[in-house]
Amino acid sequence: MTTYQNAKELSQLSLGKATKYVENYSPALLQAVPRSLNRNDLALNTETLPFVGEDVWYGYELSWLNPQGKPIVALAEFRFPCTSPNLVESKSFKLYLNSFNQSKFASWQAVLKVLTKDLSQCAAATTEVKLFPLDNCPPLAIASTNALCIDHIEVSIENYDYQPELLAEKNASPEIKEEYLVSHLLKSNCLITSQPDWASLYIHYQGEAINHAALLKYIISFRKHNEFHEQCVERIFCDLQKYYQLEELTVFARYTRRGGLDINPFRSTHLNTAPNLRTIRQ
């Protein structure tokens, strides 16, 4: 359980509360959550973060009206820098996007301009937005990887509460490696509603070899953990850095969509931009 779950900054959120759907453009629906809540809990200095990266969102239910009243639909990509002071709360994001449904815009470019302005203001940092027609969205093409899946490892699990100390189990013969690993068993829960969030977790590192069985048990220990997507990934990044001597580390979680949005946090020691990496679940 996180220490900031009852923070006053979260008490005003629409998340977990009954809300009405607004069908006319309303930027006031957007709600920000300070990233500092989680980072204070992790003892991170926001001025000297141990990682770079971004949060990549995809919107599957964006629609508006053209000047003649005809509906237009699009897929949207949103990229928020991990250095932004705020993350955008996902339910408010969904409500905001739905507020476009019965609103008229002169062009795709006009919609793009409005989205960029509103989301940058909410995150308090420049947000990159792209719109795609449904039949031509390259970032959402199914992608294959050469990552080694660790889900086949037989492990015994009795406790499904977050246990970072599981990473303390090291390999019998320490060595330096570069590995690209994936597990599709990451499940965490929404900080406010406890609704399940499912993800594929990709880890690329160079340094002290990580014990695969210990890593898998650690990932499974998030099964009852309540935290936002972005915060889980930063926690995993920090835990791996704590327990292993790693020269380079990248952690990328591709979460399944909920409410027409998916969130894909990417944190790295050296890479700023997340790759296009989508499995059948996304």
pLDDT of residue 22: 85
- Of 55, 118, 197, 239, which is the active-site residue? 197
pLDDT of residue 17: 57
Does the active-site annotation cover 197? Answer: yes
CA 268 – CA 252 distance, rounded (Å): 8
pTM: 0.93
pLDDT band of residue 174 (cuts 50, 70, 90) is confident
Q: Tens digits of per-residue pLDDT, 182-214?
A: 999 999 999 888 899 999 999 999 999 999 999
CA distances from 273 to 9, 233, 252, 264 (A): 29, 15, 11, 12
- Of 190, 232, 238, 262, which is the active-site residue? 190
Structural class in CATH, domain 148-268: alpha beta
pLDDT band of residue 4 (cuts 50, 70, 90) is low
pLDDT of residue 282: 87
- Candidate CATH numbers 3.30.1130.10, 3.40.50.300, 3.40.50.800, 2.70.98.30; the one for domain 8-140: 3.30.1130.10
Q: What is the largest CA-CA distance in the chain?
A: 69
* Domain pair 8-140 / 148-268, same fold: yes
Ramachandran angles phi, psi of 159, nearest 5°:
-125, 125
Residue 92, Cβ neighbours under 10 Å: how many?
A: 20
Does the active-site annotation cover 190? Answer: yes
Find all residues with CB under 8 Å of 28, minimum gap 6, and list them: none
Q: Are 245 and 224 in contact (CB under 8 A)?
A: no
What does the domain layout of the chain look like in residue ranges? 8-140, 148-268
β strands within 119-245, DSSP E:
128-132, 148-149, 176-189, 196-208
